[in-house]
């Protein structure tokens, strides 16, 4: 009996001792406290991606009285590791580091300089205070600043390269002591990431090739006016945001060739759609309807020749040419819908001008409110 009592006493003391040890574990720092910048490690580089909404009051029609400056809010974040609360404020001094961008480009692309990421120019960001403060007892802090992204090429990666120069407390995690801040844009109709593909359907007319200007695509045979053959076309069309009220897409039913470099092929085939702002003096057929303007995307390149057709010569069935509208179906789903009509000529590489074509197309993409 005494032997059993000794065993029970030993077990009780062992349980009490282990409980005390467990409490002591939670009172000790279990991890090395180090500061770092938030981001995702990609090929050895810490990258932080932020989407910037260029359309004020995203998800609602833009009204003329809405002020818009082009500047949007941005931030980078710093954090401190460890298992216990910090006992003092941590101040991280931040500096720009262009060597970081050079290393990124050389590591990923070497001599393919046309693929290089570019630094945001100084006139496109404003940083009032180059530091991150992590308050005592907290794990993270932010450095807020502003960026202006309208007018930048959607096909180029833009970075703001930053790094921690000094930490007022704790060691710096050298693996994440720097960050490549990447800015991307979105507007009401498209986003850079994820990419947006509209469902396209329409008809194309092809007439004789013209060198100097366009011609009415009515053909005259033996004194009679006839309508050229209309070829139906269906495909997905990539739509890219350019500014708060501009998007870019390929002309007609042209497909971008993967055999040629993007910086050559995209300007050759791209057009720009500008959606007009809300105008209270215009009586629209529906509250969401807007007129659109179709132009060449980049006039400095040899792109497609475009003539917008607002009043079709012989097809009067569509009264909504060159408009945008947010349309709701019978199931309550809403779709961004563009109805476009224009004449175009594409310059084929090493072959001169293509045939003149006229296209009627409808583009649809389901509306999803992002907030």
Residue 296 lies in a domain: yes
State which residues form the domain around 43.
Answer: 34-186
Residues 70 and 154 in one domain: yes
pLDDT score of 283: 73
Name which residue leads in pLDDT, 121 or 371. Answer: 121
Q: Which of 85-94, 102-111, 141-150 has the lowest mean pLDDT?
A: 85-94
- φ and ψ at residue 149, rounded to 5 degrees: -110, -10
Residue 132 lies in a domain: yes
Name which residue leads in pLDDT, 166 or 224. Answer: 166
Residues 214 and 358 in one domain: yes
Q: Once rounded to an integer, what is the mean pLDDT over residues 65-80? A: 80
Residues 204 and 165 in one domain: no
- φ and ψ at residue 263, rounded to 5 degrees: -70, -10
Residues 166 and 213 in one domain: no
Residues 200 and 182 in one domain: no
Instruction: State how many domains the chain has.
Output: 2
Residues 215 and 87 in one domain: no
For residue 212, what is the DSSP state?
S
Tell me: pLDDT of 165 over 80.
Answer: yes
Tell me: pLDDT of 325 over 80.
Answer: yes
Q: Which of 7-11, 110-114, 231-235, 318-322 has the lowest mean pLDDT?
A: 7-11
43 pLDDT band, cuts 50/70/90, is confident
Residue 19 lies in a domain: no
Token output for 297: 């995307």
Tokens 């590591």 -> residue: 107
Residues 258 and 293 in one domain: yes
Residue 49 lies in a domain: yes
Q: Once rounded to an integer, what is the mean pLDDT over residues 160-172? A: 92
CB burial of 19-42 (b: ≥16 within 10 Å; e: otherwise) equals eeeeeeeeeeeeeebbbbbbbeee
Q: Which of 145, 162, 186 is the last residue of a domain?
A: 186
Residue 7 lies in a domain: no
pLDDT score of 58: 41
Residues 268 and 157 in one domain: no
pLDDT score of 314: 45
Tell me: pLDDT of 299 over 60.
Answer: yes
Q: Once rounded to an integer, what is the mean pLDDT over residues 25-29? A: 47
For residue 176, what is the DSSP state?
G
Residues 206 and 352 in one domain: yes
Tell me: pLDDT of 65 over 50.
Answer: no
State the chain's mean pLDDT as an integer. 80
Token output for 247: 């998007």
Name which residue leads in pLDDT, 84 or 296. Answer: 296
Q: Which of 129, 162, 186 is the last residue of a domain?
A: 186
Residues 178 and 200 in one domain: no
Is the preceding omega at residue 54 within 30 degrees of 0, hence cis?
no
Q: Which of 186, 212, 237 is the last residue of a domain?
A: 186
Q: Once rounded to an integer, what is the mean pLDDT over residues 222-237? A: 71
Residue 86 lies in a domain: yes
Looking up residue 324, the CATH number of its domain turns out to be 2.40.128
Burial class (CB in 10 A: 0-12, 13-18, 19+), 104: buried
Residue 213 lies in a domain: yes
Tell me: pLDDT of 202 over 60.
Answer: yes
pLDDT score of 46: 94
* Nearest residue to 184 via CA among 149, 151, 143, 145: 149
Looking up residue 98, the CATH number of its domain turns out to be 2.60.40.1740
Tell me: pLDDT of 216 over 70.
Answer: no
Residues 225 and 315 in one domain: yes
Q: Once rounded to an integer, what is the mean pLDDT over residues 294-323? A: 74
Residue 107 lies in a domain: yes
Residues 128 and 182 in one domain: yes
């Amino acid at each position: 009996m005494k032997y059993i009592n000794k065993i029970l006493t030993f077990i009780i003391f062992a349980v009490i001792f282990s409980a005390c040890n467990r409490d002591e574990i939670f009172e000790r720092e279990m991890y090395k406290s180090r500061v770092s910048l938030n981001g995702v490690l990609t090929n050895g580089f810490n990258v932080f991606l932020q989407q910037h909404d260029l359309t004020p009051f995203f998800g609602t029609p833009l009204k003329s009285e809405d002020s818009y400056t082009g500047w949007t809010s941005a931030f980078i974040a710093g954090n401190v590791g460890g298992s216990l609360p910090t006992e003092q404020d941590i101040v991280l001094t931040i500096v720009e580091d262009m060597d970081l961008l050079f290393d990124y480009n050389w590591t990923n692309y070497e001599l393919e300089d046309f693929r290089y990421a570019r630094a945001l120019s100084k006139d496109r960001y404003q940083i009032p205070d180059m530091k991150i403060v992590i308050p005592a007892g907290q794990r993270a802090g932010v450095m807020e600043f502003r960026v202006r992204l309208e007018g930048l090429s959607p096909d180029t990666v833009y970075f703001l390269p930053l790094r921690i120069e000094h930490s007022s407390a704790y060691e710096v995690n050298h693996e994440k002591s720097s960050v490549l801040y990447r800015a991307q844009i979105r507007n009401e109709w498209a986003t850079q990431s994820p990419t947006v593909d509209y469902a396209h359907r329409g008809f194309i007319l092809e007439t004789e090739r013209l060198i100097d200007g366009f011609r009415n695509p009515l053909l005259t045979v033996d004194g009679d006016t006839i309508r050229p053959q209309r070829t139906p076309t269906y495909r997905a069309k990539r739509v890219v945001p350019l500014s708060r009220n501009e998007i870019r897409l390929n002309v007609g039913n042209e497909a971008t060739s993967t055999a040629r470099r993007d910086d050559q092929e995209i300007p050759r085939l791209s057009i720009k759609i500008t959606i007009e702002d809300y105008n209270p003096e215009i009586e629209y057929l529906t509250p969401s309807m807007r007129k659109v303007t179709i132009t060449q995307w980049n006039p400095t390149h040899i792109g497609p020749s475009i003539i917008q057709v607002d009043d079709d010569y012989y097809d009067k069935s569509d009264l909504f040419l060159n408009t945008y509208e947010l349309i709701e179906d019978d199931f309550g789903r809403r779709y961004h819908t563009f109805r476009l009509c224009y004449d175009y000529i594409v310059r084929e590489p090493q072959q001169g001008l293509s045939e003149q074509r006229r296209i009627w197309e409808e583009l649809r993409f389901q509306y999803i409110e992002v907030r």
